Amino acid sequence: MKELEEKISNSKNLKEIEEVRIEIFGKKGVLATQFAKMKDIPNEEKKDFAKNLNILKANLQKLFELKKEELYLKHLEQTLKEKAVDVSSFKYQGESGALHPVNFTMDRIIDYFVSMNFEVAEGPLVEDDFHNFQALNLPEYHPAREMQDTFYLDNGLVLRTHTSPVQIRYMKKNRPPFKMISPGAVFRKDMDLTHTPMFHQVEALVVAKEAEVSFANLKSILVDFLRYMFGDVNVRFRPSFFPFTEPSAEVDISCIFCKGEGCRVCSHTGWLEVLGSGMVDPNVFKAVEYEGMSGYAFGIGVERFAMLIHRIGDLRSLFEGDIRLLEQFR
Ligand code: DAH
């Protein structure tokens, strides 16, 4: 029966060994044929014949199992090699995104004030006349209302024209001393190179007992903040007017494009106006029953900062969603 053993050992793959299996162990295979011969064998020889046949069968089976296992492992190894995925060659083919310049600038502004322990508060985009105007010392028919090109809704409410109304909501809900900022969208009927009907502001308000907050505090935090945002700039305060602050100041930085020499961007003045600020007007404190308190406030135009930081010429382009523009900020 050497011949059968060789057939098993010489099988080269799973297909061949399967054919050998059928040939040897199948229903009509060599072993079945041998066992069938039993009935023709004289009785006294039957026992030995059967015994030998069973030994043969067991040996062949053992040999078969070992060979099959060996061929299976070989097959597995080969398949794994052929179908292997080279993980190190994987390359992401898509485009990566980037923060919109307005979000980028907004995040940077918020990061600064959070690091200075300011709380972040938000308010509604649709405001009533009291919060957007009256409580901020802008009574009806006050000429200063003209400064803000308001969107009026049919129900008498307005789209907030600034984030200052959140000051009022925050003061009604909390007790001083506190430091807060309020970032968010605001709306005005305005559209040109540097204005869009929707834009973003960050309002800041610091309130404590009288004599605990001063104009000097306001000045020092703004100088620090503006240098954080724009690098090594000079900062100047110009007397100005806002209904909700007294005294009020507009804040300029030395032009970041010409370093104060004078250029087209700064209209040859050497200065760029960046925000409005002041000490909270006593009339505002009166509206929220905060008599005896002192505080300062300022309002930052986020798009104005983004335009300066990223040197964007036309603000409207930021809101058109043109992917070619946004790709430049990756
Ligand atoms: N609310 C003003 C605006 O939208 C910005 C502003 C100016 C806010 C001076 C202030 C401030 O808190 O003190 O034009």
β-bridge pairing 178-187 and 119-120: parallel
Q: Bridge partners of 297?
A: 205, 278
Q: Which atom of ligand 1 is nearest to the CA of 167?
A: 12
User: 65 by DSSP, 3-state: which?
Assistant: helix
Atom of ligand 1 nearest to the CA of 277: 13
Residue 29: its pLDDT value, please? 93
> Which residues neighbour 229 within 8 Å (Cβ) at sequence distance 6 or greater?
108, 109, 112, 305, 309
Segment 261-266 shows an average pLDDT of: 92
Q: Which of 227, 213, 241 is nearest to 142 (CA)?
A: 241
Q: Please indicate whether residue 146 or residue 160 has the higher confidence score (pLDDT).
A: 160
Residue 298 Cβ contacting ligand 1 at under 6 Å? yes
pLDDT category of residue 52 using cuts at 50, 70 and 90 = very high
pLDDT of residue 123: 98
Residue nearest to atom 3 of ligand 1 (CA): 162
Name the β-bridge partners of 295: 207
Q: Specify the DSSP class assigned to residue 61.
A: H
Structural domains in the chain, sorted by start: 2-89 (no CATH), 101-329 (3.30.930.10)
Tokens 């793959």 correspond to 13
3-state secondary structure 256-281: CCCCCCCCCCCCCCCEEEEEEEEEEC
Is 243 near ligand 1, meaning CB less than 6 Å away? no
Q: Label residue 91 by pLDDT band (50, 70, 90).
A: confident
First vs last C-alpha separation in the chain: 77
Q: Which of 70-74, 127-131, 170-174, 311-315 has the lowest mean pLDDT?
A: 311-315
The residue written with tokens 């020499």 in the block is 261
Find the range with the poorest average confidence among 170-174, 192-196, 204-208, 272-276. Answer: 192-196
CA of 219 to the centre of ligand 1 (A): 15
Packed helices 2-9 and 14-25: angle between N→C axes, nearest 10 degrees? 160
Predicted local confidence at residue 329, as pLDDT: 86
Query: Which residue's CA lies nearest to atom 8 of ligand 1?
Result: 299
How does strand 245-254 pair with strand 235-242?
antiparallel
Atom of ligand 1 nearest to the CA of 147: 14
Q: Strand runs (DSSP E) across 47-160, as ranges?
A: 119-120, 126-127, 158-159
Q: How confident is the model over 221-247, as pLDDT tens digits?
A: 999 999 999 999 999 999 999 999 999
pLDDT at 276: 98
Pocket test for ligand 1, best of 118, 132, 164 (most atoms within 8 A of CB): 164
Q: What is the pLDDT of residue 321?
A: 85
pLDDT exceeds 90 at position 280: yes
Q: Is 165 in the pocket of ligand 1 (CB under 6 A)?
A: no
Say which residue, 86 or 57, is predicted with more confidence: 57
Residue with tokens 């007397």: 239
Looking at residue 21, what is its pLDDT? 95
- Per the prediction, the chain carries an average pLDDT of 93
pLDDT exceeds cutoff 80 at 147 = no
Each residue's pLDDT tens digit, 153-191 = 999 999 999 999 999 999 999 999 999 999 999 999 999
Residue of 235, 241, 239, 167 whose CA lies nearest to 205: 167
Name the pLDDT band for 274 (thresholds 50, 70, 90).
very high
Cis-peptide, bond into residue 183, ω within 30° of zero: no
State pTM to two decimals.
Answer: 0.72
Average pLDDT rounded to a whole number, residues 265-286: 96
